[in-house]
Amino acid sequence: MFIGDHHLQAYPLFKNCSDEEVLRFMTCVMPLERQWAKGQVLHDQDSPLTELYLVLEGRLALTRLGAGGQEVRAGELVPGQTYGQATAFSTGQAEGQPDPFAIVALEPSRTLTFPAGAFYRQCAQVCTAHQKVIRNMLSDLAGQTQHLSRRVRILSAATLRGKIALLLLDEAGGRSAGQPFTLSYSREEMATFLAVARPSLSRALAAMKQEGLIDYDRRVFRILDPVRLEASE
């Protein structure tokens, strides 16, 4: 099934669903298609979340302001990804449950928004479409939980060098010493992910490069001394 140019079965939420099943689910829950301008806030942090968002176009950021007013970015959502699953399954109340993150459009974006109730209760017909979509949503939720656990592990390092070391080792994915890999983040995105100022990040990276721990050119990195880098944790 298509919405505009988007083949919904290509998205994890509708994996293994037929056109008929997707149509039945969409007809049952009646999601709303919405457009968002760059910088527009879809949801305020700590406010009740009563919807699940499926990104069709653009990029959304999950952010939170810390006690000192510094923005911490927990992650990004790109086309095909969803957000709101945890809230959907943690409450059966129509008014929703407070969600810790704000959702902000990083660029012009388009979403489908589903009522959370569509996922914690099945339709009256208990159709296979609902069963499949709910299973897919739980699988996607597990992936998001792993991502957040990874972020917590990285941010738990005591020093900035330790955070950088954990992030680079994770991004390298077990590559051998000297083998190049492309970082998933720009410098600005990396600084936001690590919740540090970009100049501090740049200084730390330059020092680690000078010490022979790593080498890099823009987003392409190489870990030159994995043992010493791991010791930075």
117: confidence class by pLDDT, cuts 50, 70, 90: confident
Q: What CATH number is attached to the domain comprising 100? A: 2.60.120.10
Mean pLDDT rounded to a whole number for the chain? 84
86 burial type by CB count under 10 A (0-12 exposed, 13-18 middle, 19+ buried)? middle
* 2, pLDDT greater than 80: no
Same domain for 134 and 224, yes or no, is no
141: phi then psi, degrees, rounded to nearest 5: -60, -40
pLDDT recorded at residue 45? 92
Same domain for 164 and 150, yes or no, is no
Of 59-73, 121-135, 201-215, least confident by mean pLDDT is 121-135
Q: Which residues constitute the domain of residue 94?
A: 2-155
- Give the tens place of pLDDT for each residue, 6-39: 678 888 888 888 888 888 888 888 899 999 999 9
Same domain for 148 and 189, yes or no, is no
pLDDT recorded at residue 32? 93
Q: How many domains does the chain have?
A: 2
Tell me if the pTM is above 0.75. no
Same domain for 77 and 134, yes or no, is yes
Closest listed residue to residue 22, CA positions, set 87, 110, 112: 112
